Amino acid sequence: MEFDDNLIYAFVLTTMAGLSTGIGGLAAFSRHASKSRYLAFGLGLAAGAMIYISFVELIYGALDTFKEQYEDESEAYLRVTLYFIGGLIIIGLLGLLMSWLAGKFNISKENLAEIGSEKIDSQKAKGLYRTGIVTAIALAVHNLPEGLVTFLTTIQDVNLGIGIAIAIAIHNIPEGLAVALPIYHATKSKKKALLVTLGAGLSEPIGAGIAYFLFFENVDPDVFDVVNVFVASIMVYVAFFELIPQAQKTGHKSHSKWGLIAGFGIMGLSIALLA
């Protein structure tokens, strides 16, 4: 019964985390959307939360289990290392695919702080619209493993799943902003910008569905330890190679730094209180 309850929570949390891109979509219509210091703090906060959960909860827990399974501790460390590096390589290759797609369509990342203040001609509008659509596609592909992460973690531990869902939701907000801003300023249509943004976020519950069909019928605790390390590698990659660099590019390094520290603190305290 508890597993079935966790299953429901897993789908709900995954869907909520995915739909948080809509909050970013709504923020695109605000006159405060271009204030990059808020973006820098939010990105740092999400990165801190993801890094803390990855190393303190997921990897540490998997390592403890592997130590119990194998007499030689070095084998336990080796397995965790191989699974972790393997996950980084897989998500890194996915990132290369997205970069190739952006290059194929001759799209560069727009400075979100400048989009709202520029006078946009028809040619610029076409470019912005294309940027928004391709960003939405990249976000949808990127969100699939995040949906799997939230789902698989929640069916094991609801409290930990809540923490991961919050971290993913926080970092989905600026991603939703990145999709909605160019589309809105290109088309002047709030409805179109919001629908495209929500569509990109819905790939997370799709990822949960994939996880359900792959793992639900044959739930093996040993498999979950491997999955946890892979989950950690995805979040570490997102934090170090996407969130932190993007936060630094805003020019508000102090805000991103304090956001990172706040992310560590919030996740640490929430896990301690919920344990």
Question: What is the mean pLDDT of the segment spanning 64-84?
Answer: 87
CB of 246 closer than 8 Å to CB of 95: no
For the chain, how many structural domains are there in total? 1
Which segment of 33-37, 173-177, 204-208 scores lowest on mean pLDDT? 33-37
Residue 92 or 29, more confident: 92
Domain range for residue 108? 2-274
How far is residue 36's CA from residue 44's CA, in Å, rounded to a whole number?
12
What confidence score (pLDDT) does residue 85 get?
A: 94
| pLDDT tens-digit readout, 202-252 | 888 888 887 777 766 555 656 767 877 887 888 788 788 877 887 787 778
| pLDDT tens-digit readout, 114-129 | 444 344 455 555 665 6
How far is residue 107's CA from residue 85's CA, in Å, rounded to a whole number?
30
